[in-house]
Amino acid sequence: MQNYPSHIAIIMDGNGRWAENKNMPRTYGHKKGVETLKEIVKAFIEFGIPSLTVYAFSTENWKRPPKEVKYLMSLFSRTIENEAEELNQQDVEINIIGRRNSLDERILKNIEWIEELTENNNKLELNIAFNYGGRAEIIDAVKTIMNKPNLDVEDLNQELISDNLYNPKISNIEYIIRTGGDRRISNFLLWESAYAELYFTDTYWPDFSKSDLKKALEEFTNRKRKFGALDNGDDI
């Protein structure tokens, strides 16, 4: 296998604009986006990349029109119900990260079901960020830490915060891919992506294909990651 990153995060942007360009409702784009994700999951397995985290619904997405939010909630639940068995057969472990206290009972039950169903799978770790925000995750981690007994301020360090994120076993992000043309990370995985490489493409998510993924991976292999250090011969 080539020198691919072991953990990639994808901001799956452009579903609504893709649909509008086709004179279709935005919901049509979201539905097509699920189909694209299924194909990209297969590509990750084929390429031997062990971890994928995708941005499905942010804490800021509640500001969208109520009709669209309602559809996205329903789509999320239906996708779990319809795809869980196939993902399990593909040996994919599913983790849902994000705030759960504002989600309805159907969604919560589906989350618990698919996580339990796939918890022993190991071909691909698929983390789905749903009702997720990077700042919210850090705030929630700090609140959890503050409730620990006999904690001294000197005990606070990077490891302690990492251990209290939504899913502490998720590894740091090496590469963030964003589709849809925007050049920002939009409050996604702020802690986990401190040294992530960034890749932006104008391709809308519903059109993002295995070949687009391969192109992004090839660019990653040509980058030099220094993590703040200097190569021999570099100037200070």
Distance CA 50, CA 60 (A): 29
Catalytic (active-site) positions: 13, 61
Contact between 189 and 127 under an 8 Å Cβ cutoff? The reply is no
189-217 mean pLDDT: 97
CA 78 to chain centre: 19
Distance CA 45, CA 47 (A): 5
> Which of 71-80, 130-139, 150-159, 208-217 is the least confident region?
150-159
Distance CA 114, CA 80 (A): 7
| C-alpha distances out from residue 118 to 41, 94, 228, Å | 15, 6, 37
What average pLDDT does the structure give for the chain? 94
Pseudo-torsion of CA 157, 93, 187, 60, nearest 10°? Answer: -130
108-122 mean pLDDT: 98
Beta bridge partners of 11: 55, 178
Burial class (CB in 10 A: 0-12, 13-18, 19+), 177: buried
CA 91 to chain centre: 18
| 146-175 residue pLDDT tens | 999 988 889 899 999 999 999 999 999 999
Domains, in order of start, for the chain = 7-133+172-221 (3.40.1180.10)
pLDDT band at 236 (very low <50, low <70, confident <90, very high): very low
Query: At residue 197, does pLDDT exceed 50?
Result: yes
Q: What pLDDT was estimated at residue 102?
A: 87
Query: At residue 116, does pLDDT exceed 70?
Result: yes
